Amino acid sequence: MSKAKKYVDATRRFDRDQLHTPLEALDLVRSLSNKKFDESVDVVFRLGVDPRKADQIVRGTVSLPSGTGKDVRVAVFATGAAADAARAAGADIVGAEDLVAQVEGGMLDFDVAISTPELMPQVGKLGRVLGPRGLMPNPKTGTVTPDPAKAVGDFKGGTVEYRTDRYGNVHVAIGKSSFETAALAQNFAAVVTELNRAKPSSAKGRYMKKVGISSTMGPGVKIDPMRVEEAVAD
Query: What is the reported pLDDT for 169?
Result: 97
Query: What is the reported pLDDT for 233?
Result: 67
Query: What is the reported pLDDT for 229?
Result: 83
Which residues of the chain, if any, have pLDDT below 50? 1
Query: What is the reported pLDDT for 217?
Result: 86
Specify the DSSP element, H or E, that contains 100. Answer: helix 97-104
Query: What is the reported pLDDT for 15?
Result: 74
CA distances from 62 to 41, 98, 126, 210 (A): 16, 31, 25, 20
Query: What is the reported pLDDT for 136?
Result: 95
Query: What is the reported pLDDT for 230?
Result: 79
Question: What structural domains does the chain harbor?
Answer: 15-68+159-233 (3.30.190.20), 74-157 (3.40.50.790)
CB contact at 8 A, 72 and 154: no
pTM of the predicted model as reported, rounded to 2 decimal places:
0.83
Query: What is the reported pLDDT for 105?
Result: 94
The 10s digit of each residue's pLDDT in 129-182 is 999 998 999 998 999 999 999 999 999 999 999 999 999 999 999 999 999 999
- List, as one string, the DSSP characters of 12-46: TTS-TT--B-HHHHHHHHHHHS-TTS--EEEEEEE
The phi, psi pair for 117, rounded to 5°, reads -55, -35
